A and B are shown apart, each in its own frame.
Chain A
């Protein structure tokens, strides 16, 4: 069974502060993928990043960065110099790879990020 835990239910910071969203996962599969999705107030899920279990390199994309640590089963997401437009619910998700193709996503409960001006 797979499980994704996002312990932070809600985070509130002032604009321009850095903020890290935590994600811890559980899986017995050796090949899997990790994702982050953003869900703004409009409700549509927006893909941010995908990582496979063999690639532990950290990634940076503009103000966003991701830290994947297999040893601690964590895939944390950091926003640098946060902006009001970053306010949204952020979901971490996991998908196993079963050989015949990728499984559906197992999502965490999400972290509601509030950026105050």
Chain B
């Protein structure tokens, strides 16, 4: 089974430029997450999608960050314009959903992570 794919693996830009990252989750995984990991820290959740809908974007800096998952499969995270403090590794993760006979959706907690995109803002 293929894992979570991310591209590019590395990106160097100057401040005030724009950048976009792409993520393709594991096939069949309805839930997709974007995390930001600053050097020396644990990952921080930026946004969570369930299919193509946003579940949680409370920690996403919406003045410069945006994300979409239009067809409920792959996703794009954009930063516009970038700041020096955006230098970090951007991790994408996915997990699958179990739907009970009642129709209740249970999100499987085990998140599978991609290799990340290392962004350097100069």
Q: Which residues on A are within 8 Å of B, measured CB to CB?
A: 4, 33, 35, 37, 42-47, 50, 91, 93, 95, 100-110
Q: Identify the 3 closest CB pairs spanning chains A and B, nearest first.
A: A107-B42, A101-B107, A104-B45
Contact A91 B97 (CB under 8 A): no
Quick check: is B50 within 8 A (CB to CB) of the other chain? yes
Q: What is the bound-complex CA distance between A115 and B110, given in angstroms?
A: 27
Q: Given that A104-B48, A104-B56 are known contacts, is A110 also in contact with B89, CB under 8 Å in the complex?
A: no
Contact B107 A105 (CB under 8 A): no
Contact B42 A47 (CB under 8 A): no
Quick check: is B55 within 8 A (CB to CB) of the other chain? yes
A-B contact pairs, 28 of them (CB 8 A): A4-B42, A37-B113, A42-B115, A43-B89, A43-B115, A43-B116, A43-B118, A44-B115, A44-B116, A45-B43, A45-B91, A45-B113, A46-B113, A47-B112, A50-B110, A91-B42, A91-B43, A95-B109, A101-B50, A101-B55, A101-B97, A102-B95, A102-B108, A104-B45, A105-B111, A107-B43, A110-B41, A110-B42
Q: Given that A43-B89, A91-B42, A110-B42 are known contacts, is A104 also in contact with B33, CB under 8 Å in the complex?
A: yes
| A contact residues around B43 at 8 Å (CB) | 45, 91, 105, 107
Contact B113 A109 (CB under 8 A): no
| B contact residues around A109 at 8 Å (CB) | 40-42
